[in-house]
Amino acid sequence: MQNVGMLDRSLRLVLAISFTYLGLAPLSGSDLGHLFLVVAILMGVSGLLGTCFLYRLFGIDTRDRGVS
């Protein structure tokens, strides 16, 4: 069940790429670098699949349903 809109998905993917860079380049090997990589993976997966577990938990849905 998708609950993440296109703008939200795009932002998640951009942040995932940015966090991956931070985790691999300047912070490589540090605890903070590992945290950035874990967050990047979670954001990337939710951006690609269009589903966010926390959104589902709190009943949030950012998809555009088309206003009539």
> What pLDDT score does 52 carry?
94
Extents of the domains making up the chain: 6-58
> What pLDDT score does 5 carry?
93
> What pLDDT score does 67 carry?
54
Which pLDDT tens digit goes with each residue over 53-68? 999 999 999 998 765 4
Is residue 37 within 8 Å of residue 26, measured between CB atoms?
A: no
Is residue 40 within 8 Å of residue 23, measured between CB atoms?
A: yes
Sign of the torsion angle spanned by Cα atoms 47, 2, 63, 38: negative
The residue ranges of the chain whose pLDDT is under 50 are: 68
Is residue 12 within 8 Å of residue 41, measured between CB atoms?
A: no
